[in-house]
Structure 1
Amino acid sequence: MQYLRSLVFIVQMYLVMAVMTVCLFPFALIGGRNVAVMICRTYCHWIRFTARWLVGLRTEVRGTVPDGDVLVCAKHQSFMDILIIYSALPKGKFIMKRELAYMPFLGWFAWAIGCIPVNRGKGGAAVKAMLKAAKKGQEKGGQLVIFPQGTRVAPGDTKPYKVGAGALYSTLKTAAVPVAVNVGLFWPKHAILRKPGLAVIEFLPAIEPGLKVDAFMAEIETQIETRSNMLMAEAGMPIVAELDPKG
């Protein structure tokens, strides 16, 4: 039964995305970024509501949500953590894979809210292009979200933190807010089943500008991994509390 509920949830999630995009994207084009952000946040809240209603997956945002122009460095375990984070931020935008920018519906609104596509296969050239675009986008303000590991990482797995987050922190000279999550326990990567429970994302205390890149990278990795492990242990995966944040 949970599998069937999950399937219904997933189908309506993408169906609503398509309908909202077709019907409301013209308003985003006319009204600009603020209208696009409002539409995207409405969609995210809808998914959070239907997740609770259809599959018993409750969601919670902890910590102080930043409302100024900051860099948000988040753990990434599933599509759901993106939705929860965006529903909480007043004016968010993402560093995202370039491929996603060309997707129907999702790519349209990614462009409208000011997301920055990155070609991950280009190495140093991609980082330079990202920094240039982020610096230019700073004029429009908002919360720029980056996933420092560069991809989804399943609970219990480890992947290195990439220097792109540190380069943004150094270039933009702005505070950075780490975000811990446990969402992957309930919304597994490459799976249909959505599990009931409490999915949490937690905004941690801001790291003020001024640290060296190496020190900053060590700080966000320690904070994000330590707190994410605690959230996952709280949700019933105690083994992650014993993991070394450094991998």
Structure 2
Amino acid sequence: MSLLRSAVYALVFYPATIVFVLACFVASLFGSGPMRSVVHAWTDFHHWFVRLLGTRVEVSGTIPNGSFLIAVKHQSMFETLEMMRIARTPVVILKRELSRLPGFGWATRRYGVIPVDREAGAKALREMLVAGKEAAASGRPVLIYPEGTRVHSGTMPPLQAGFAGLYKVLGMPVVPVAVDSGRFWGRNLPHGSGTVHFLVGEAIPAGLKRDEIEARVHAAINALELAPQPSA
């Protein structure tokens, strides 16, 4: 059943994504608003489709309105799409390779992302900080996966250095979000069925020292790892 679920997902979702990318090209002729509406339709489609495959979503807490830095636990591709629905059109920090994919990369750049080259070191950090300032000035929230990459369920690695730098430069409060998608999802495909939980923590104020903000965010995004395992 697990292999069948993964196969159905791959055979339906990825071809459908190509259709949505083409729709983005057409919608972009009429401005950024219609184009972003197509992106949201894509994430709504994904939300509906995975329900058919047995994945439910439960969100505890609410992302507040306004300019915030949203820090999310990262265990699979699942939350990268679902957070687009939960966080209200965020500017997303993602790895540069995704922003260079034919068609799809163009759509992400038009929607609003901050591509980061994880191999570029300090140069990548400087570029991210500049782009982060521009995003914050637009009034949209900025979404970051502070662990830097997808991690296995049950693991709690330290946050990447770029998170603290972005927090300091933007001067925005942080909304931490814990996720447990790794219980049912691999990096890109589902391998089980059940409920994925999103736990939105209380906003953490701007202006804290690096050790404190990293400790508080690390604890908050790992809240579901530290708590008793929720039922499916």
| Letter aligned with residue 196 of structure 1 | S
In structure 2, the residue matched to 1:5 is 5
**In 2: Cα distance, 1:233 partner to 1:134 partner:** 35
Which runs of 5 or more structure 1 residues have no equivalent in the other structure?
A: 237-247
In structure 1, the residue matched to 2:220 is 223
| Letter aligned with residue 230 of structure 2 | E
Q: Which moved more, 1:22-31 or 1:172-181?
A: 22-31
In structure 2, the residue matched to 1:203 is 200
In structure 2, the residue matched to 1:76 is 74
**Residue 133, structure 1, aligned to residue 131, structure 2:** yes
| Letter aligned with residue 30 of structure 1 | F
Are 1:163 and 1:217, in contact at CA under 8 Å, matched by a contact in 2?
Answer: no
| Letter aligned with residue 227 of structure 1 | L
Rate the CA distance shift 1:182–1:235 in 2: closer, same or farther, 3 A. farther
What SS does the corresponding residue of 1:116 show, helix, strand or coil? Answer: strand
| Structure 1 residue 197, shift from structure 2 partner | 0.3
In structure 2, the residue matched to 1:39 is 38
Kindly provide the CA deviation profile for residues 119-153 of structure 1, in whole angstroms up to 9, marking residues without a partner as x.
11111221111101111222222111111110000
In structure 1, the residue matched to 2:18 is 18
Matches within 5 A, 1:143-154: 143-154=141-152
| Structure 1 residue 24, shift from structure 2 partner | 3.2
Higher helix proportion, which one? 1
Q: TM-score, normalised by structure 2?
A: 0.93
| Letter aligned with residue 226 of structure 1 | A
What SS does the corresponding residue of 1:121 show, helix, strand or coil? Answer: coil
**In 1: Cα distance, 2:121 partner to 2:191 partner:** 35
| Letter aligned with residue 155 of structure 2 | D
| Structure 1 residue 29, shift from structure 2 partner | 4.4
| Letter aligned with residue 78 of structure 2 | M
What SS does the corresponding residue of 1:94 show, helix, strand or coil? Answer: strand
Matches within 5 A, 1:1-247: 1-32=1-32, 34-53=33-52, 55-189=53-187, 192-230=189-227, 233-235=229-231
Are 1:29 and 1:112, in contact at CA under 8 Å, matched by a contact in 2?
Answer: no
What SS does the corresponding residue of 2:172 show, helix, strand or coil? Answer: coil
**In 2: Cα distance, 1:29 partner to 1:78 partner:** 32
**In 2: Cα distance, 1:206 partner to 1:184 partner:** 24
| Letter aligned with residue 45 of structure 2 | W
Are 2:63 and 2:175, in contact at CA under 8 Å, matched by a contact in 1?
Answer: no
| Letter aligned with residue 181 of structure 2 | V
**In 1: Cα distance, 2:108 partner to 2:8 partner:** 25
What SS does the corresponding residue of 2:229 show, helix, strand or coil? Answer: helix
Rate the CA distance shift 1:229–1:48 in 2: closer, same or farther, 3 A. farther
Are 1:61 and 1:84, in contact at CA under 8 Å, matched by a contact in 2?
Answer: no
What SS does the corresponding residue of 1:30 show, helix, strand or coil? Answer: coil
| Structure 1 residue 195, shift from structure 2 partner | 1.0
Are 1:85 and 1:201, in contact at CA under 8 Å, matched by a contact in 2?
Answer: no
**In 1: Cα distance, 2:187 partner to 2:13 partner:** 16
What SS does the corresponding residue of 2:197 show, helix, strand or coil? Answer: strand
| Structure 1 residue 206, shift from structure 2 partner | 0.6
What SS does the corresponding residue of 2:196 show, helix, strand or coil? Answer: strand
Rate the CA distance shift 1:178–1:9 in 2: closer, same or farther, 3 A. same
**In 1: Cα distance, 2:172 partner to 2:88 partner:** 17
| Structure 1 residue 37, shift from structure 2 partner | 2.6
CA RMSD of aligned residues (A): 1.7
